Structure 1
Amino acid sequence: MLNGVDIRKLNLTWLRQQMGLVNKEPTLCNDTIRANIAYGKEGNATGAEIIAAAKTANAHSFISGLQNGYKVMVGERGVQLSGEQNQRVMITRVVIKAPVLLLLDEATSVLDEESEHVVQDALDRVMDTRTTIVVANQLSSIKGADMIAVVKNGVIVEKGRHETLINIKDGFYASLALNSSAASS
């Protein structure tokens, strides 16, 4: 269901236009940062729109700090930028698109802990105003979700908020959380 409508009844092209995707391997084009961000919006994105989106995505300060700023060429698949910078450019592209539905597929999984916090903060601001589906192995990415569906062997085995799932005795989510906190200690 999307806004109370069965998605099977929606036009597939229209539905895809309503979605924004950030995955663990950003897909940047061999072009400037500005062009990669503008790609998210149909028609032309203004400089002011690009800067506003970059500020929302925690990207403006790092972009402005680069020698050529928004004119920096990112290289094929973003090789000229760090993983964190690539993710923030991708998030900025999603912000400028302003999708109704946001899909995050392991969006912070390849980042170190410090970079994850910066990117997660940007994602939290973007997720605040739209329906978001998060696929994650890192519990830090989903703790604040309204609904968590725990999948084991392709089947949903538990559903609920973090606070509920963490307290299920012998629950799969609780065991994942326990193992996750033990691994980070």
Structure 2
Amino acid sequence: MDLFASPDSLTPIPIEDGELAWLAQLPLPYTNAEVLARLIAETPWRAESVFVYGKQHLQPRLVAWYGDASYTYSGLRLEPLPWTPLLATIRDAVQDVCGHRFNSVLLNRYRNERDSMGMHSDDEPELGPDPIIASLSFGASRRFILRHKRNKRSLPLDLHDGSLLLMRGQTQQHWVHGIHKSTRPMGERVNLTFRYIV
């Protein structure tokens, strides 16, 4: 699904058993290209291993965790780095648009078309019963796939440079999401998923 929205407000995306909303361009005091370049250059990126189905795997992307609390998923515990001025500015802009407070952010760096994100839900206990996740993208567009856990219905969304996707309500209870590898050459992408650790 290719999405279009008004320039300054979230547009709801119809979805069963969940709530999604979309903004084509998050307003920031920097260009998207500036943000992407700074995030790539200034972030201490890490290659982390996670446990999936009882086996350890190196994640096919680079990650960094910032905020006010630690976070654990797939057997990996992330200790937070302090907010940088750039990330704090971005966080404040995301909060203004979404109307929600976020105290942490996971950065994912997709270096090329071979980097990916397996299908999963953001449903860890420290996120609370109905997590609110704001996903902000910079750089190359990638297709974000949502798949319903029960009926296997899928919803593909193209996440463009500067776009913001908000997931809330029971979305994480009923849907999994991820980003597949591609055979088509793709440039770098950095995705920031803002969340509130309870």
Fold agreement, TM-score > 0.5: no
Q: Normalising by structure 2, report the TM-score.
A: 0.26
Instruction: Answer 1 or 2: higher relative contact order, Cα 8 Å, separation at least 6.
Output: 2
Question: Comparing both structures, which one devotes a greater share of its residues to helix?
Answer: 1
Question: Comparing both structures, which one devotes a greater share of its residues to strand?
Answer: 2
Max Rg structure: 1
